[in-house]
Structure 1
Amino acid sequence: METFDCIVCGCGGVGSSVLYHLARQKVKVLGLDPFPPGHRFGSTHGHTRVIRLAYMEHPDYVPLLKRAYDLWHEFEEESGASLYEETGVLQVGPADGSVIPGILKSAEEHDLEVEQIDAEGLVERFPGFVLEPKMKAIFERRAGFLHAKRAWQLQTQLAQQEKAQLSIGEHFKTWTQEGKNIVVETSQRKVATSRLLLSLGPWIPRWAPSHFPRLTITRQTSFWYCGHGPYYHMEAEAPVFLYETPEGVFYGLPHQEPWGVKVARHSLGTPIQHPQEAENSVDPEEESQVRSFLKRYLPKMDHTLRRHEVCRYTNTPDGHFVIDQHPEAAGVFFLAGLSGHGFKFAPVLGEQISLWMLEGRPKLSLDFLSLRRFSQV
C-alpha cells in the first residue's frame, strides 16, 4: 500500500489550491477527484467569480481577503496568466438591509476605503444603473472579478509541476484510522497517509462527524445579455454590481466578449438532492426574475439572452464556511459549505489549510469557521 504525506480528496476550486500549496512545500501529496478541473458539478463551474474586500458577510473574512489579494497577484506572476480584473464594485441596497450595513461594518473595523454615492452621483458616474429613493449605494475600487476556470486549471497544472500526483476519475469511498495511519479506500486501491483533507463539496456529509451541519445543495443559474451601448462595458469603466432588492440579491459583471453582461440571482436557488441531478436547461422562472431585475435597475440593457450556465452551491445553515479538524481524528481535516462565496478565498485557504496540515495550525485565524459553532447551538 502506497503512503503519502498528505492526501486531498476533492480538487475543486479550493481543494486544488490546497494541493498546489502542499506540493510547493515538497511533500509527497496525492489529489483525488472523480471529475476533471473545470467540471460542472460543483460551485466553481463557470469562467468568472466576483472578488471584493469590504466583505458584507462578516468582518472576520477581511484578513483572509487581504492575504488572498496578495496571493492572487503572486499566482499571476508565477503562472504568467491574467486572473484578476479590477473594475470596482457598485453595491446597492436599503440602509437597514444586510448588504450596506455589512459593508460599512467591515470597512470601519478594518479601515477600508469605500465611497458612498448619492443618486445624482450615480447618474453621473454610472448612468446605466438606477438608485431608488430608499436605497443607498457604495462603491469600492479595490474589487472586480477573477477568471475562475482559468485559475482552477492552472492550480492543478502547477501542483503537478511541483510533483503532486493528481488522479482524475478515482472516486473516494471511505477512510479509516489504522494506528497512526489514515487509510483511504478509493474505487481503485487503498492508500495511506497521516494527513487527509476532505474537500468533497456536497458529498461530504457521509464522512463528517455527527454534529456536522446539514448542507443544502441549490441550483444556481447565471445569464448573459448584451450590454447595449457603452453603459455596461469594461472599456467605459462599468463596475461589477450587486443589488439587494425585495426580490433577493442579484449581481453581475460588466460586458465581456463574446457573451455580454453576466447577471445572476445570488440568493439561494432551487434545492436539489444531488449535484448531478440538476438540469442545465434554462429555468423560465429564474430567467424571469433576472429580467425583472434588469428592467428595474439596469434599464438600458438589451434583454436578448446570449448564454446561461448552471452551477451548484453547497450551503451551510448560516452561510459561512466549515473548516476544521475531525474531533476524533486529528489528522483528518474538513473543508465544506462554501455557500456560493468561496472561490475568491482559494489561494489563502489553500495556504492556510496546508500550513495547518503540515505545521499544526494556520497563521491566520479560521476559528470563526470551525465546527464548534454548530455544536454550541
Structure 2
Amino acid sequence: MHGMKPTYDIIIIGLGGMGSAAAYHAARRGQRVLGIERHTLAHTLGSSHGRSRIIRQAYFEDPAYVPLLLRAYELWRQIEHDSGTHLLTITGGLMIGPPDSHTVAGALRSAREHGLEYELLDAAAIRRRFPALHPTEGTIALYEHQAGFLCPEASVTAHLQCAAALGAEIHAEEAVLTWEADTAGVTVTTSRGRYVAERLIITPGPWAPRLLADLGLPLVVERQTLHWFAPTGGLEPFLPDRFPIYIWETEDGTQFYGFPHQEGPPGGVKVALFRAGEPCDPDTVDRVVHPAEIAAMRAAIADRIPALNGNHLAAVVCMYTTTPDQHFIVGLHPQHPNVVIASPCSGHGFKFASVMGEILTDLAIDGTTRHPIRLFDPLRFRAQQAG
C-alpha cells in the first residue's frame, strides 16, 4: 500500500456466489465496500461455476428454507433488472424417486407446508410429459412450475459489476493471509497490503476451513464432478421449453440431477451425481475427471435417461463445503460481533446467493436480520458436541 490506508465500512473476503451478492447489497445500502478475491473474478476453481445451478422452491432439505427461496427469486429478478443480464430461466422441475424417498417426500412436505403449487406424477405421466425420462413403475415425481436454473458465472459477474458501479472497490488475484478483529474494527492482511474496516464478511467457499480455522467448525470440502453428454437422437427433447431440471433419487438412495440443454460450450446436456465426492483440499484437488467417474455417471443415467448415454463431451470438477447436518453456517462470529461468517454451501447453496447477500449485509450493518436463519447458527455444533 502506498500512502494512507483507505478506511472501509465493510471488507468482504471471497467473491464467489455469496460474497459477490454481499458486495452488491452492501454497496446498495451506501456502504464503503472492499471485496477481495484470491483468484480471478467468476473463476472456475471453487464452487460457483459449471454454467448452471438448480433453483427450486419445494425444498426437500427442510421447509425452513422456503421463505428464503421466495425472497431469493425476487432478488434474482432485481439483479437481472439492475445488471441487464438474464440469469434465471424457469423450466419447471421434477423431484423424482420412490414415494417415500427423501427427495419426493421432503419436497411434498415443503410444498404443502408453504402452500406451493405442485403436481404429483406417476411413472406413466412422467414418461408421457417428458419422453426422454424412463422411470420404472413405482417411481413418482413432484413437479413444481417455478423451478429452473441460474447461470453461476454470469450471476457472480452481474453482482460484482453492479457493486462496482455503486462504488465498491473490487480486488482480484489477491490472497488474504490473515484477518484480525477487535472492538475498534478489523484488519485484513493480503498478499498486497493491509486494509482496515469497521466490519468484515467472510465468504470463503472451500477455503472456509482455513479462514475460519479458529472456530473449529466441522467443515469437509468434497470434490464433485459435473458432466456433459451429447444425446443420441438430437437435442430437441432436452430444450429448455420442454425439458425440466430434475433431481432423481434411485432405489438405493443415490441422487443425480440434471438440466435442459444450454446454448454455448461445451454443448450437450449436463448431469451430475449429488454428494458422491471425496474429501479434498481446494489448493491440491485433483481437477482431472477419470474414466471410472464417467462410468459411474453413465450407470446412473443409462436406463433412466437412455438418450443421454451418448458421447461424453466434457467434465469439470467443483467442490462442496459440507457440514454434518448439510445445513449452512451463517451468522456473527462468536467472538467478534463485527465479523460475519458464511458457509452457505453443503452442495445446495448457490440458489440462495441473492438473498444471502441481503442477509450478510443485514448482519454486518445491523447485527441481525429479519430473515429466518436460526437453522444456520454457527454455534449449533458446539451444543451437539457438549451434549
Partner of 1:365: 372
- The reply on whether 1:260 has 2:265 as its aligned counterpart is no
- The letter of the residue matching 1:10 is G
Shift in Å, 1:45: 1.8
Q: Of residues 47, 50, 69 in structure 2, which corresponds to 1:46? A: 50
Q: Of residues 2, 7, 10 in structure 2, which corresponds to 1:3? A: 7
- The letter of the residue matching 2:278 is T
Q: Distance in 2 between matches of 1:148 and 1:209?
A: 27
Q: Of residues 305, 320, 323 in structure 2, which corresponds to 1:316? A: 323
Partner of 1:237: 242
- Please show how residues 1-377 of structure 1 align to structure 2 within 5 Å: 1-208=5-212, 212-227=216-231, 228-229=233-234, 232-234=237-239, 237-245=242-250, 246=252, 248-258=254-264, 259-272=267-280, 274-336=281-343, 338-377=345-384
Shift in Å, 1:176: 2.0
Shift in Å, 1:363: 1.8
- The letter of the residue matching 1:233 is F
Give CA-to-partner distance per residue, 1:305-349, whole Å, 9 cap, x none.
Answer: 112121111111111110011111110110115111111111100
Shift in Å, 1:51: 0.5
- The letter of the residue matching 1:172 is V
Shift in Å, 1:359: 2.0
Give CA-to-partner distance per residue, 1:74-109, whole Å, 9 cap, x none.
Answer: 111111111111111112112222111110111111
Shift in Å, 1:135: 2.1
Shift in Å, 1:231: 5.9
CA shift in 2, pair 1:80/1:210, >3 Å = closer
Q: Which moved more, 1:247-256 or 1:59-68?
A: 247-256
Shift in Å, 1:372: 2.6
CA shift in 2, pair 1:307/1:207, >3 Å = closer
- The letter of the residue matching 2:33 is V
Q: Distance in 2 between matches of 1:308 and 1:373?
A: 36
Q: Distance in 2 between matches of 1:267 and 1:85?
A: 24
Give CA-to-partner distance per residue, 1:88-137, whole Å, 9 cap, x none.
Answer: 11121122221111101111111111110012212211111122223221
Answer yes or no: is the 8 Å Cα contact 2:331–2:363 preserved in 1: no
Shift in Å, 1:250: 0.3
Give CA-to-partner distance per residue, 1:183-204, whole Å, 9 cap, x none.
Answer: 2222222221121011112222
Answer yes or no: is the 8 Å Cα contact 1:50–1:146 preserved in 2: yes
Shift in Å, 1:287: 1.0
Answer yes or no: is the 8 Å Cα contact 1:231–1:238 preserved in 2: no
Identity of aligned residues (%): 37
Answer yes or no: is the 8 Å Cα contact 2:23–2:35 preserved in 1: yes
Q: Which moved more, 1:186-195 or 1:316-325?
A: 186-195
Number of residue-to-residue matches in the alignment = 376
Q: Which moved more, 1:26-35 or 1:172-181?
A: 172-181
Answer yes or no: is the 8 Å Cα contact 2:178–2:190 preserved in 1: yes
- The letter of the residue matching 2:295 is S
CA shift in 2, pair 1:119/1:204, >3 Å = closer
Answer yes or no: is the 8 Å Cα contact 1:90–1:139 preserved in 2: yes
Q: Which moved more, 1:220-229 or 1:287-296?
A: 220-229
Q: Which runs of 5+ in 1 are unaligned?
A: none
Shift in Å, 1:373: 1.7
Answer yes or no: is the 8 Å Cα contact 1:19–1:350 preserved in 2: yes
Give CA-to-partner distance per residue, 1:139-168, whole Å, 9 cap, x none.
Answer: 111011011111111111111111100111
Q: Which moved more, 1:275-284 or 1:91-100?
A: 275-284
Q: Distance in 1 between matches of 2:208 and 2:196?
A: 20
CA shift in 2, pair 1:236/1:67, >3 Å = closer
Answer yes or no: is the 8 Å Cα contact 2:334–2:379 preserved in 1: no
Q: Which runs of 5+ in 2 are unaligned?
A: none
Shift in Å, 1:286: 1.5
Structure number having the greater strand percentage: 1
Q: Which moved more, 1:248-257 or 1:343-352?
A: 248-257
Q: Distance in 2 between matches of 1:189 and 1:181?
A: 17
Q: Distance in 1 between matches of 2:170 and 2:192?
A: 14
TM-score in terms of structure 2 length: 0.93
Q: Which moved more, 1:54-63 or 1:177-186?
A: 177-186
Q: Distance in 2 between matches of 1:210 and 1:150?
A: 33
Q: Distance in 1 between matches of 2:237 and 2:254?
A: 21
Q: Which moved more, 1:254-263 or 1:312-321?
A: 254-263
Q: Distance in 2 between matches of 1:256 and 1:360?
A: 40
Matched residue SS, 2:380 = helix
TM-score in terms of structure 1 length: 0.95
Answer yes or no: is the 8 Å Cα contact 1:54–1:112 preserved in 2: yes
